[in-house]
Amino acid sequence: MKELLLCLISGGVGYFSREIIKLIQQNGGFPLSGSFKLGLGGSSPRESSKGCLLGAIELGGTTSKAAVSWSSATSEIIADITVPTEDPETTLSKLVEFLVRQESELESEFAALGVGSFGPIDIDPLSESYGCVTSSPKILWRNFNVRSRVVDAFPEVPVGFDTDVNAPALAEIAFGGHGEKVNSAAYITVGTGVGVGVVVDGRPVHGLMHPEGGHITVEKYPGDTFVSECLFHGSACELEAMVCAEGIARRCGVAPENLKDIPDEDPVWNIIAYYLAALCINITYLISPQVIVISGGIMKRTLLYPLIREHFQRLNAGYVGVNRVMNELDKYIVPSKFGYSIGVIGTLHIAERELKAAKS
């Protein structure tokens, strides 16, 4: 048995079920990586005085995360890890290892898991490719079944699956402090790409697929001569290509990692704010959410929020005349109170919803 396990480990097998992990522990506790000692240490209850243990995996364009919390306080993260988003096997093996280690350290088994992934993804449970990344620009991830990998590692645990933007949109309604009457929200992330999550009447919008708001085309900012580039849509004025990190870097002639060196006074930020305001206008006219939350790495440039609101008011021109838009725009287009943790908190909320569904 030891020889078999050593062969599996040295051969780079990245995914182990709970049963295999127990065997590893029983045969000497061989680690799957130098920093983790795996093994559950015997069966643990799924519920404690703190509620049930929830786990989350959030897959992003540049980095990916895993986190755990108790169901009694889903938005309070106990422990988390961030890793570079590489190929699927490498990325997910690191995140799964972390989650297994948390079960051991907390002496509890997961009651439910949530997975939020960049898209496009197949979120139709009746589809043969349910759980897969589909036509992503990330070629190594195309047709890779993210959900199945997690289910294989935790075969007895319910696993919820949605986009990495629908998840935080749901969490904003549940925990965001936008008011008890808020049951519809849009969540925009602006970073490596642009994603839009939408919740209407408390439910994430799926339909034909899921929203892909970053790929809408908008009217160019007056005098803007920058030509965007999209793998799918060419040089059309596609929103994501205009405002994502790589697009801004190309526009400014710098590497994406050097965007931080562009001063706040640079006129590029006003142009970026215009395009994001155009996205917010389209969302408002088509979906009419009660709040639009914008997050992501580019939004660390907080001066964008007031600029977006200014452009929004000009583009709206008084057409949507409700009080929230006319007089309380700082409550309509907002950052998340959770900062850049909102993504993984949203994925924990997916796990919480999956747990409730399993119990019903």
168 falls in which pLDDT band (50, 70, 90)?
very high
Question: Quick one: CA dihedral 298, 303, 308, 314, positive or negative?
Answer: negative
Partners of 174 in the β-ladder: none
Please give the mean pLDDT across all residues of the chain: 87
Distances (CA, A) of 12 to 8, 29, 35, 89, 164: 7, 16, 16, 10, 28
Same domain, 93 and 228: no
Same domain, 235 and 300: yes
Same domain, 189 and 245: yes
Task: Decide if 291 is inside a domain.
Answer: yes
Task: Decide if 343 is inside a domain.
Answer: no
Residue 349 has pLDDT above 70, yes or no: yes
Task: Decide if 16 is inside a domain.
Answer: no
Q: What is the pLDDT of residue 234?
A: 60
Helices and strands (H and E) in the chain: how many: 12, 11
Structural domain ending residue among the three candidates 164, 189, 207: 164
Same domain, 56 and 26: no
User: In the predicted model, what is the mean pLDDT of residues 109-113?
Assistant: 97
pTM, two decimal places: 0.84
User: In the predicted model, what is the mean pLDDT of residues 211-229?
Assistant: 88
Measured in Å, how far apart are the chain's first and last C-alpha atoms? 41
Q: What is the pLDDT of residue 47?
A: 67
Q: At what angle do helices 88-106 and 146-153 cross, to 10 degrees?
A: 30
Q: At what angle do helices 166-175 and 342-359 cross, to 10 degrees?
A: 80
Same domain, 302 and 206: yes
The domain total for the chain is: 3
- What is the percentage of the chain residues whose pLDDT exceeds 90? 74
Same domain, 148 and 202: no
Task: Decide if 113 is inside a domain.
Answer: yes
Same domain, 27 and 60: no
Task: Decide if 342 is inside a domain.
Answer: no
Same domain, 274 and 299: yes
Q: In the 8-state DSSP scheme, what is residue 165?
A: T
Q: What is the pLDDT of residue 78?
A: 96
Task: Decide if 348 is inside a domain.
Answer: no
Q: What is the pLDDT of residue 23?
A: 56
Task: Decide if 360 is inside a domain.
Answer: no
Structural domain ending residue among the three candidates 113, 133, 164: 164
Task: Decide if 350 is inside a domain.
Answer: no
Determine the structural domain holding residue 183 and report its residue range.
177-335
21 falls in which pLDDT band (50, 70, 90)?
low
Same domain, 209 and 322: yes
Same domain, 220 and 297: yes
CATH of the domain at 66: 3.30.420.40
Same domain, 200 and 259: yes
- How far is residue 19 CA from its own chain's centroid? 29
- What is the percentage of the chain residues whose pLDDT exceeds 70? 84
Same domain, 313 and 207: yes
Out of 36-40, 86-90, 203-207, pick the least confident. Answer: 36-40
